[in-house]
Amino acid sequence: MRKKVIIIGASGHGKVVADIIQKSGDILLGFLDDNKSLPDQLSGIPILGTVNDYKKYSQAKFIIAIGNAEIRERISKEVKTDSWYTAIHPNAVISKLDTRIDQGTVVMANAVINPGAVIGKHCIINTGAIVEHDNTIEDYVHVSVGAKLAGNVHVGRKTWVGIGATVKNNVSVCEDCMIGAGAVVINNIVEKGTYIGIPARIV
């Protein structure tokens, strides 16, 4: 049966999530967003109200389309529902061998998720990202556009892997890190912080 879906977060990222929902054949009802200066629609899709208005839509499933992991986590706790939508673009390549993708996560076009990869709640696996075999991606992680995680990589909660970044096989990145655009991570990261460059170093 076609699901009715509401996106929390009316932004550019929200539009990409909207496109996935429409391509998946589910019914997109609209956006919720606390920014009251927004118009009443985005790309022709209605903005239905603020986040708290989720209570009016008991039949709907929800997905949070907000890049900031702290805000994504906060909203996932404030919105009291078990009805989270997992958005998978029809052109994402996802192995059926021992993969798991938890609720509220979005997987965008041309992303690849290979066997044994386990992806937590409310993650973003962005356009063209590669999550290789046996990765463990914890809740609220964002793997940005074109980032590459080799085999057996572990990424801790709320870490953001920037656009085009690369993480070598068997490397672990702890929680709450920012891996800068184009960085190459070749050693385990055990200290929270921002890492840039090749090889990636803390700033």
Ligand X SMILES: CC(C)(COP(=O)(O)OP(=O)(O)OC[C@H]1O[C@@H](n2cnc3c(N)ncnc32)[C@H](O)[C@@H]1OP(=O)(O)O)[C@@H](O)C(=O)NCCC(=O)NCCS
Angstrom distances, CA of residue 162 to CA of 28, 92, 102, 149: 29, 19, 21, 11
List the one residue from 51, 109, 184, 196 that touches ligand X (CB under 6 A): 196
List the one residue from 197, 199, 201, 202 that touches ligand X (CB under 6 A): 197
Does 163 sit near ligand X (CB under 6 A)?
A: yes
Shortest distance in whole angstroms from residue 160 CB to ligand X: 7
Residues 132-161 that bind ligand X (CB under 6 A): 144-145
Shortest distance in whole angstroms from residue 161 CB to ligand X: 8
Contacts of 102 (CB under 8 A, 6+ apart): 86, 119, 120, 121, 123, 139
**Pairwise CA distance, residues 90 & 20, whole Å:** 8
**Pairwise CA distance, residues 126 & 5, whole Å:** 20
Q: Which of 13, 122, 133, 142 is catalytic?
A: 133
List the one residue from 71, 118, 150, 181 that touches ligand X (CB under 6 A): 181
Q: Is 154 one of the catalytic residues?
A: no
| β-strand pairing of 148-149 with 166-167 | parallel
Which positions touch ligand X (CB under 6 A)? 126, 144-145, 162-163, 178, 180-183, 194, 196-197
Q: Tell me which residues are annotated as active site.
A: 133
